[in-house]
């Protein structure tokens, strides 16, 4: 790929030498470069294509890192990375993995935070501005926040405090009008009105908060953005720069299908078609079949998502049952408390979450659902050990959910168990139930004598008992086979309930077992294995716990992590044998 | 006390028989009744005095519980309780304890949720309205939310979704103009402008969200409120009713000193003076002395609170160092992420929280502070087992904080240790540090060889080791004395760090100890004792864990709870002896 202008850019200062035609050419080069890599590796497409011009303009007008920009979610920071010394990660396939998909201070002095969750940028930038002022330092501070992120409570808390600052702060609202398609809330009506009136409407929530406000209608035009930044640079007070951009700008498939191209797996650059479609059976189908069955049986269910319908294919449900489908936008707290209100009045809401974003509703899970024992069902996806950025780890949900009183956290191991647990949750009225959707492919096995809160014994042996939580039940079975070959007949148990121990089953093990082994695809700290360890603390039972370390992993491969955490059959068998040796 | 009108009111329907003069008389009776009880028992004063009229008007115009009202925080629901069959709890001292200080579904069909945290009412009411519509039921749904609660992110998320509802919903913004005194943010500028223009300003954030909006200037006038409710009753779309009230209305000390009378201990009704001032030494003084010393040493500290300066007497700091003091209002997420921005740029912010409200910033603690290893210090108060409402329990902070990677949670036992831990936290740059302010009176002991993340051995014995976390170290010492009398020489240890185990010390215990006992004033589930249990799982060491059950307590006395949880010396000694007997 030819990138003659980009070749001259090694740091932001180099941009200042370029003419407007050269900057425009640079934007074209970067756009091609972004598409070239992301079509091969997958990643955020539309958000990055939309901000190429404003990123170039920022680094041309401002002086990073004296002037600082905080990217909300930071999934749109690819161009920023290219311009701040990291272009090799786009130019050379061997270096594609050198940088993360998010801002990362360890990569560059132009990045300040690891960010992957939404709505934090205004609060972070306000804090940075206060630090600048108190220390008598210089420079602009800018937050770039998309319209989708603006509905998160923290963004609104942030606006409220930012408005009171008496010094420089620029909040760029990158409005690509996407959220309006979904009509997620009243805020978006105002953004639309402001776009339609080119920022002149008397209805202006930013001005109501007390902000100086400026509107830019074509955020994908370089000259316009250069002028807009010049106008607000060195402002001595907070300014909202409301910039209208086009998500996916410059690539028709991403413009036509904005939602699919927000984040995309590898695709054919010419056609936009996915290269390797996943046609595997999925637990999503089990979930949808269960929802339809419940509705047929008159269970008054509703489905709620906080802006992540894709992972659960919830729009399918929304098309069939629009009056029962609610996408509250990026507003995780609302998703839970809104469900609490519904449940208290007799509905059976199901909230569809990923574990990492559900963290944003911890108090709502405890205060609104737990204390009130409201029968809300929460589906939790992404609970697993796997390669990923530190901001999207899937191992902390167990410690978060399993220690909230009155909340039952279930870990199904098969599609039959998943369906049965959903059904049980939707029929009971004792309290909230969360269900950890397994992540290791679809398993199937007949269910008999189903009691979701009792452990299920798959094989009764003696001496050693293997408790395999959810997706790790197959690992327990593998270990059992290896131990059997060594003439150790281990019991295999599916704990099912990971928030409250089935102490009847655990007590029975004391009779003829000396060692209990717990396997969980979650952080050991605060998790299931610790509960089992405490239970046996006053007895001679030995307990070995296997799971993730208490740390934020950062793109290690799944294989590396499982090996490090000793979550392989060979390692577990070795540890079991070593432990048994001490008991002889 | 004479309450001739109230005597006729046993349910809301009885109000409909009263004339306006009688309703006005009723308001006077209720106001006196509220003051009479709260001056003896303590409780929320100003919030309840401010809403007497609007509560009477609600129950006169609407038909509860077909028409439903959700009180935000619900600390202002005393009049509501008096009018919905619970007046005995104000009329007769013997019944004062019959009702809680918050709405409670177990008390009355006119209450729907246990609520004690802020900003939830709009989301709850929206959920109830959706449930009404989907089930074809009738009735109005109203949320009553104070201006102070409006800055919480969930309230703003709630407004955003409520605005899209196509049916009846009334959001009463009870604006007593209090927050403006503190200038907590841009939102309050708009509320002030709306008050000053009697709701006519073109700057109107509620209208910007798309709401129908109505303003009521005298919310303490019954005729006005009756008319206002008549006008919005049975609205077929969401309405904001912005009502201006006076906090503390009708009681001059509460009007003059609104903040002190928000919640007040027992006081003299004539003078408003506190009856039994607490003159004990407090850890708050230790904290302030430490802050001043750090500033004298040029540590670039700031102090941040989310609307609870009182418990830490932070206004004292604010008066001395206004440029370093930030009250972000009710916005817990903002308090942490704002601090993250400050810390990243070289400041050393200290965020002052109570454990129960800190729950609202869980993701910010993990994603913004933990992943980024930012040196923010978080003071955590209220971490204890004591009588209290289920919404304000102090036993869940350990499970929440101690399982977040990179975050160190420290539990000081004396004022010297508290000061040393604060100093250490403010000097280190490895990551966030939370400090659990002890709650059992001020203890003092000389510090030697201080390493805050290493366990401190107070007494070296053998066979049994007692690990007393924070405020329970004195309990460990009592147990040690009783055991010594029985010729058991137990080791006593102050763990100091409750998030990360000092495995060196724990390993050493294996040599000549058979039993480790953990004592923590926190929920055992997800807590310190479980970490210790897991550590010893592969060894013969027995572990007994003492702490709170995983449940929401509800106004049991501290003594009852400690006895039930076996947190008394006699019970622990008995359990230790029983366990040792099994080891012989």
- Interface A–B counts its CB contacts (< 8 A) at 390
Residues A460 and A567 in one domain: yes
Domain extent, residue A362, equals 283-436
Nearest-CB residue to B341 (from A117, A123, A339):
A123
CA B427 to each of CA B301, B357, B451: distance values in angstroms, whole numbers, following the listed order: 10, 26, 13
| Chain A residues within 8 A of B325 when measuring between CB atoms | none
In A337-489 the beta strands, taken as DSSP E runs, fall at 348-354, 377-381, 408-410, 433-436, 456-459, 463-468
Q: Which residues of B426-436 are buried (b: 16+ CB within 10 A; e: fewer)?
A: beeeebbbbbb
Q: Provide the ipTM.
A: 0.96
d(CA B168, CA A75): 39
Q: How far apart are CA A136 and CA B65, in angstroms?
A: 58
Where are the alpha helices (H) located in A149-282, listed in sequence order?
Answer: 153-162, 178-182, 186-196, 205-208, 222-232, 252-256
- Under an 8 A CB cutoff, do A538 and B525 touch? no
**Residue with the two structure tokens 């977040």:** B404
Q: β-strands A325-327, B325-327: how paired?
A: unpaired
Q: How confident is the model at residue A183 (pLDDT cuts 50, 70, 90)?
A: low
- B583, with CB counted inside 10 A (0-12, 13-18, 19+), is exposed
Is A531 a residue whose pLDDT tops 80? yes
> B277 Cβ partners below 8 Å, 6+ apart?
none
What residues of B are in contact with residue A189 (Cβ under 8 Å)?
Answer: 163, 209-210
- Residue with the larger pLDDT of the pair B367 and A452: B367
Domain with B542 in it: what CATH number? 3.40.50.920
Domain count, chain A: 3
Q: Pick from B264, B294, B318: which residue ends a domain?
A: B264
**Given the DSSP bridges, would you call strands A263-264 and A43-44 parallel, antiparallel or unpaired?**
antiparallel
CA distance B551 to B396: 10
Coil vs helix vs strand at B515:
strand
Question: Do A338 and B126 count as a contact with CB atoms less than 8 A apart?
Answer: yes
Spatial contact of B393 and B519, defined as CB atoms under 8 Å apart: no
Q: ∠ CA A387-A178-A437 to the nearest 5 degrees?
A: 35
Q: In what order do the strands lie in the sheet with A169-175?
A: A68-71, A141-146, A169-175, A238-244, A212-216
What pLDDT, on a 0 to 100 scale, did the predictor assign at position A185? 67
Beta carbons of A524 and B534 less than 8 Å apart: yes
- Judgement on whether residues A153 and A234 belong to the same structural domain of the protein: yes
Residue B349: give its domain's CATH number: 3.40.50.970
Q: How far is B5 from chain A (nearest CA, A)?
A: 33
Question: Is residue A318 within 8 Å of A301, Cβ to Cβ?
Answer: no
Beta-carbon contacts of B39 under 8 Å, excluding residues fewer than 6 positions away, are B266, B267, B268, B269
Q: How far is CA A337 from the centre of its chain?
A: 20
Residues of B in contact with A540 (CB under 8 A): 540
Question: Is residue A237 in some structural domain?
Answer: yes
> How many residues does the structure list for chain A?
584
Task: Give whole-number Cα distances, B288 to B292, B293, B411, in Å.
Answer: 6, 9, 18
Q: Tell me whether residue B81 is in a domain.
A: yes
Cβ separation B371–A128 shorter than 8 A: no
Residue B127: list chain A partners with CB under 8 A.
337-345, 349
Nearest to A162 by CA among B324, B185, B343: B185
pLDDT of residue A451: 86
> Measuring CA to CA, which residue among A498, A493, A491 is closest to residue A521?
A498
Q: What is the pLDDT of residue B584?
A: 78
Give Cα separations from B275 to A529, B89, B268 (angstroms): 51, 22, 6
Q: Which two tokens stand for residue B401?
A: 């904080």
User: Bridge partners of B35?
Assistant: none
The residue of chain B with its CA nearest to that of A123 is: B338
List the single residue in A132, A155, A202 with the smallest CB-CB distance to B202.
A202
A425: closest CA among A410, A406, A446, A437? Answer: A410
pLDDT (0 to 100) of residue A181: 47
Would the CB atoms of A364 and B187 count as touching at under 8 Å?
no
Least reliable range by pLDDT among A21-30, A238-247, A273-282, B46-55 = A273-282
Q: Are residues B260 and B297 in the same domain?
A: no
Q: What is the pLDDT of residue B66?
A: 98
Task: For residue A326, give the 3-state DSSP assignment.
Answer: strand
| Torsion region of B219: left, alpha or beta (phi above 0 gives left; psi -120 to 50 gives alpha) | alpha
pLDDT at residue B181, rounded to an integer: 47
Contact state of A126 with B185 under an 8 Å Cβ cutoff: no
Reference B122, options A121, A181, A186, A362; nearest CA is A186
**Residue pLDDT tens, chain B, 584 long:** 789 999 999 999 999 999 999 999 999 999 999 999 999 999 999 999 999 999 999 999 999 999 999 999 999 999 999 999 999 999 999 999 999 999 999 999 999 999 999 999 999 999 999 999 999 999 999 999 999 999 999 999 999 999 999 999 999 999 998 754 455 668 999 999 999 999 999 999 999 999 999 999 999 999 999 999 999 999 999 999 999 999 999 999 999 998 889 999 999 999 999 998 877 778 999 999 999 999 999 999 999 999 999 899 999 999 999 999 999 999 999 999 999 999 999 999 999 999 999 999 999 999 999 999 999 999 999 999 998 899 999 999 999 999 999 999 999 999 999 999 999 999 999 999 999 999 878 999 998 778 888 999 999 999 999 999 999 999 999 999 999 999 999 999 999 999 999 999 999 999 999 999 999 999 999 999 999 999 999 999 999 999 999 999 999 999 999 999 999 999 999 999 999 999 97
Peptide bond into A105 cis (omega under 30): no
CA distance A226 to A26: 14
- What is the per-residue pLDDT for B259? 87
Q: Which of B224, B240, B292, B286 is nearest to B54 (CA)?
A: B224
User: Could you tell me if A24 and A156 lie in one domain?
Assistant: yes
Give the pLDDT band (50/70/90) at residue A448. Answer: confident
Shared domain for A80 and A208, answered yes or no, is yes
Task: Calculate the alpha carbon distances from B197 to A113, B131, B173 in Å.
Answer: 43, 37, 16
**B368/A189 CB distance under 8 A:** no
Looking at the structure, do residues B414 and B357 belong to the same domain, yes or no? yes
Q: Which residues in chain B touch residue A524, judged by CB atoms under 8 angstroms apart? A: 534
In what side-by-side order are the strands of the sheet with A456-459?
A456-459, A491-494, A463-468, A513-523, A542-548
Q: Which residues of A touch B156 (CB under 8 A)?
A: 153, 156-157
Where a domain ends, among A375, A403, A436?
A: A436
Q: What percent of chain A has pLDDT over 70?
A: 99
pLDDT band at A196 (very low <50, low <70, confident <90, very high): very high
Residue A274 lies in a domain: no
Q: Would you say residue A199 has pLDDT above 90?
A: yes
Output the CA–CA distances (angstroms, integers) from residue A41 to A81, A101, A261, B127, B442, in the order listed.
16, 11, 13, 41, 59
Selecting from B337, B342, B543 the residue whose C-beta is nearest the C-beta of A154 gives B337
User: Which stretches within A62-152 are classed as H helix?
Assistant: 78-81, 88-91, 121-134
Among A407, A400, A353, A402, smallest CA distance to A379 is for A353
Task: Write the residue in B156, B346, B403 that is nearest to A153 by C-beta.
Answer: B156
The answer to whether the Cβ–Cβ distance between B334 and A132 falls below 8 Å is: no
Higher pLDDT, B196 or A276: B196
Query: Which one of A168, A362, A467, A537 would you mutate to disrupt binding with B, by most B Cβ within 10 Å of its Cβ?
Result: A537
d(CA B447, CA B413): 11
Residue A467 has phi, psi (to 5 degrees) of: -105, 105
Q: Which residues on adjacent β-strands are paired with residue B45?
A: none
The C-alpha atoms of residue B86 and residue B77 are separated, in whole angstroms, by 11
Domain boundary among B264, B299, B333: B264
Let me know if residue A159 belongs to a domain.
yes
**Is residue A557 in a domain?**
yes
pLDDT (0 to 100) of residue A184: 60
How crowded is residue A167: how many other Cβ atoms within 10 Å of its Cβ?
Answer: 13
Minimum distance, in Å, between the CA of residue B115 and any CA atom of chain A: 7
The Cα-based distances of B113 to A469, B70, B104 in angstroms read 34, 8, 6
Locate the chain A residue with the closest alpha carbon to B137: A345
Q: Cβ contact (<8 Å) for A210 and B204?
A: no
Count CB atoms within 10 A of the CB of residue B391: 26
> What is the spatial distance between Cα B499 and Cα B397, in angstroms, rounded to a whole number?
11
Burial class (CB in 10 A: 0-12, 13-18, 19+), B243: buried
Nearest to A69 by CA among A147, A125, A129, A10: A125
Is the residue at A261 inside a domain?
A: no
With CB atoms and an 8 Å threshold, state whether A161 touches B328.
yes
| Residue A341 lies inside a defined structural domain of this protein | yes
Are A510 and A418 within 8 A, CB to CB?
A: no
In tens, the pLDDT along A70-105 reads 999 999 999 999 999 999 999 999 999 999 999 999
- Of A175-179, A214-218, A421-425, A513-517, the one with minimum mean pLDDT is A175-179
Question: Positive or negative CA dihedral for B262, B156, A186, A143?
Answer: positive
Residue with the bigger pLDDT between A181 and B421: it is B421
User: Tokens 């269970």 — which residue?
Assistant: A299
Question: Do A75 and A140 belong to one domain?
Answer: yes
Tell me the C-alpha distance between B150 and B152, whole Å: 6
Is A362 in contact with B362 (Cβ distance < 8 A)?
yes
Phi, psi of B399, deg, nearest 5: -65, -35
Structure-token pair, residue A111: 């990045």
pLDDT tens-place string over residues B479-490 = 999 999 999 999
Instruction: Calculate the average pLDDT of chain A.
Output: 96
The residue of chain A with its CA nearest to that of B155 is A153
What pLDDT sits at residue B206?
Answer: 97
CB B367 within 8 A of CB B495: no
Residues A471 and A389 reside in one and the same domain: no
Rounded CA-CA distance A48/A34 in Å is 8
Q: Measured between alpha carbons, how far is A53 from A64 in angstroms, rounded to an integer?
A: 16
- The Cα of A571 is separated from the nearest Cα of chain B by a number of Å equal to 15
Same domain, A364 and A318: yes
Residues B525, A132: Cα–Cα separation, whole Å: 42
Q: Which residues lie closer than 8 Å to B249 by C-beta, 6 or more apart?
A: B31, B49, B50, B52, B220, B255
Q: Tell me whether residue B272 is in a domain.
A: no
- Rg (Cα) of chain B, in Å, rounded? 26
Whether the predicted pLDDT of A502 surpasses 60: yes
Provide mean pLDDT across the span A29-37. Answer: 97
Q: Are residues B424 and B491 in the same domain?
A: no
Q: Which residues, in sequence order, are CB contacts of A94 under 8 Å at separation 6+? A: none
- Is residue B14 located within the same domain as residue B153? yes
**Who among B112, B134, B340 is closest to A347 (CB)?**
B134
Q: Are residues B332 and B240 in the same domain?
A: no
């Amino acid at each position: 790929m030819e990138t003659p202008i980009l070749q001259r850019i090694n740091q932001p200062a180099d941009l200042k030498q370029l003419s407007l035609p050269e900057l425009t050419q640079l934007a074209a080069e970067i756009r091609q470069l972004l598409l070239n890599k992301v079509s091969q590796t997958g990643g955020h497409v539309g958000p990055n294509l939309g901000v190429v011009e404003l990123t170039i303009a920022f680094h041309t007008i401002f002086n990073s890192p004296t002037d600082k920009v905080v990217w909300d979610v930071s999934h749109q920071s690819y161009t920023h990375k290219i311009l701040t010394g990291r272009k090799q990660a786009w130019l050379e396939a061997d270096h594609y993995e050198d940088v993360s998909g998010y801002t990362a201070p360890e990569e560059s002095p132009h990045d300040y935070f690891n960010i992957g969750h939404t709505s934090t940028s205004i609060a972070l930038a306000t804090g940075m501005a206060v630090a600048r002022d108190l220390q008598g330092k210089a420079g602009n501070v800018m937050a770039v926040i998309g319209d989708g992120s603006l509905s998160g409570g923290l963004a609104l808390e942030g606006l409220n405090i930012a408005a009171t600052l008496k010094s420089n702060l620029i909040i760029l609202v990158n409005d690509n009008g996407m959220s309006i398609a979904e009509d997620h809330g009243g805020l978006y009506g105002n953004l639309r009105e402001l776009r339609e009136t080119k920022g002149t409407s008397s209805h202006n929530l930013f001005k109501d908060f007390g902000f100086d406000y400026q509107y830019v209608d074509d955020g994908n035009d370089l000259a316009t953005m250069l002028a807009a930044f010049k106008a607000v640079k060195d402002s001595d007070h907070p300014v909202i720069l409301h910039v209208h951009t086009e998500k996916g700008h410059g690539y028709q498939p991403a413009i036509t299908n904005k939602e699919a191209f927000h984040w995309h797996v590898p695709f054919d650059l010419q056609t936009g078609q996915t290269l390797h479609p996943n046609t595997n059976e999925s637990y999503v189908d089990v979930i949808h079949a269960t929802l339809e069955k419940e509705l047929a049986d008159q269970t008054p269910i509703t489905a709620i998502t906080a802006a992540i319908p894709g992972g659960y294919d919830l729009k399918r449900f929304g098309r069939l049952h629009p009056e029962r489908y609610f996408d509250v936008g990026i507003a995780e707290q609302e998703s839970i408390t809104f469900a609490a209100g519904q449940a208290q009045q007799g509905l059976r809401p199901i909230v569809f979450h990923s574990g990492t974003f559900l963290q944003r509703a911890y108090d709502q899970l405890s205060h609104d659902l737990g204390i009130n024992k409201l029968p809300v069902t929460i589906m939790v996806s992404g609970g697993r050990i796997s390669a990923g950025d530190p901001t999207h780890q899937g191992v902390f949900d167990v410690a978060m959910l399993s220690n909230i009183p009155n909340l039952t956290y279930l870990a199904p191991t098969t599609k039959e168990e998943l369906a049965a647990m959903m059904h049980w949750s939707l029929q009971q009225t004792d309290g909230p139930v969360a269900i950890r959707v397994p992540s290791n492919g679809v398993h199937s096995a007949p269910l008999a004598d189903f009691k979701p809160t009792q452990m299920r014994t798959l094989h009764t042996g003696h001496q050693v008992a293997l408790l395999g939580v959810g997706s790790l039940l197959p690992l327990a079975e593998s270990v059992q086979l290896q131990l059997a070959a060594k003439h150790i007949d281990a019991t295999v148990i599916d704990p099912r309930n990971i928030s409250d121990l089935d102490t009847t089953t655990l007590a029975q093990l004391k009779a003829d077992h000396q060692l209990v082994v717990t396997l969980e695809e979650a952080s050991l700290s605060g998790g299931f294995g610790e509960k089992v360890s405490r239970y046996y603390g006053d007895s001679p039972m030995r307990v070995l716990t296997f799971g993730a370390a208490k740390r934020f992993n950062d793109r290690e491969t799944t294989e590396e992590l499982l090996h490090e955490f000793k979550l392989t059959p060979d390692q577990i068998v070795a540890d079991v044998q070593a432990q048994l040796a001490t008991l002889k």
